[in-house]
Amino acid sequence: MDRLDKILVSQGIAGRKEARELIKKGEVLVNGEPVKKPEYKFEPENCDITVKGQGLVYRKNIYIMLNKPSGVVSAVKDNLDTTVIDILPEEYRRKGLFPAGRLDKDTEGLLIITDDGEFAHKILSPKNHVEKRYIAELDKEIDGNVIKNFENGIVFADGTKCMPAKLKIIPESQNKKGLVTICEGKFHQVKKMFSVCGINVVHLKRISIGNLYLDSNLPIGSCKLMSKLDIESIYIGKLH
C-alpha cells in the first residue's frame, strides 16, 4: 500500500508538489474514479491509474540511465563527494536507489541506477557474461601485443587473473584510443589492464552494457527513465 502522490512521483510522472496539484485538480483517476486526496493509500499493482487521461503502466522498480559526469562517485551516500544519487532530478528520487555497478570518480558514461537488486546482480555477475564496452583514451599507442594480452586475460601484479577481454583500435586515433569489452567489473579494471601493458588511461567512458547503448542525446550529467525495451535490450545479442 502506498500513497497516491508518492506513487505518481515514484513513476516519474511529476515531482511531489506537482503530483499533489494534479490529484487535487481531479486529473488522476483510480479505477475510473477521480481521487482528490494525495494521501489516499492503495495497492498500485491491482488498480488502473490514469493521469490526465493517459493510462499509467505501473512499474514496481525504476531503472534510470545516467550519463555519468566525471567528479561524482558511484555511491548512494558519501561524506566528501557528490554521488550519482545526489545529481538525480527530484522526480526520480525514491528510497532504495543505488548504482548498478561502479564507475570510477573520473570515468564518464553509461551507469544504470535502480532499486532492483536482482536486476543489478544479473547484469553485473561475470557468470552472466553481460559485456560492458568502454572507450579508453591512452597516453601511448596500442599494438598487437596489447590486444593479444587482453585476449589471453590480463594478470594483475597481485596475481588476480582477468577474463579474456576484447580490444579494438579506434580508427583515426593514432592508435591511442581503444574500444575495450569486458564481462566483469573488478576495481579500476580497465585502467589496471592497460597499466599492466605499460599504458595509462587518460580518459575513460562506458558506452554500453550488453546491447544497451548510452543514448547519444543524453548530455553528460543527465538521465532518463529506461523503457522496458531498454532493459530487455541489455540481453539481446549477448555473446558467450
Place of cell 585502467: 191
- The residue type found at 54 is Q
CB of 208 to ligand URA, least distance (A): 13
Q: Which stretch binds ligand URA (CB under 6 A): 6-14, 23-31, 40-48, 185-193?
A: 185-193
Verify binding: residue 16, ligand URA, rule CB under 6 A: no
Asked about 78 being catalytic, the answer comes back as: no
φ/ψ (deg, to 5) at 187: -55, 125
By CB under 6 A, name the one of 10, 11, 67, 107 that touches ligand URA.
107
By CB under 6 A, name the one of 66, 103, 169, 234 that touches ligand URA.
103
Given the complex with ligand URA, which of 67 and 189 has the nearer CB atom?
189
By CB under 6 A, name the one of 21, 78, 104, 131 that touches ligand URA.
104
Distances (CA, A) of 133 to 30, 144, 156: 43, 19, 20
Verify binding: residue 189, ligand URA, rule CB under 6 A: yes
Place of cell 564481462: 183
Cα(54)–Cα(42) distance, integer angstroms: 19
Given the complex with ligand URA, which of 7 and 73 has the nearer CB atom?
73
Verify binding: residue 122, ligand URA, rule CB under 6 A: no
* Nearest by Cα to 98 from 86, 81, 108, 80: 86
By CB under 6 A, name the one of 190, 199, 209, 214 that touches ligand URA.
190
φ/ψ (deg, to 5) at 77: -140, 145
Sorted by sequence, the CB contacts under 8 Å of residue 51 that are 6+ apart come out as: 8, 13, 22, 27, 28
Grid cell for residue 217: 542525446
Out of 2, 48, 81, 104, pick the active-site residue: 104
Verify binding: residue 209, ligand URA, rule CB under 6 A: no
Q: Which stretch binds ligand URA (CB under 6 A): 29-37, 59-67, 121-129, 184-192?
A: 184-192
CB of 194 to ligand URA, least distance (A): 8
Verify binding: residue 191, ligand URA, rule CB under 6 A: yes
Q: Which stretch binds ligand URA (CB under 6 A): 7-15, 31-39, 102-110, 148-156?
A: 102-110
Place of cell 543524453: 218
Query: Where do runs of H (alpha helix) occur along the chain?
Result: 4-10, 16-24, 117-124, 144-152, 189-196, 228-233
Place of cell 491509474: 49
Verify binding: residue 188, ligand URA, rule CB under 6 A: yes
Binding site for ligand URA (CB under 6 A): 103-104, 107, 188-191, 204
Active site residues: 104
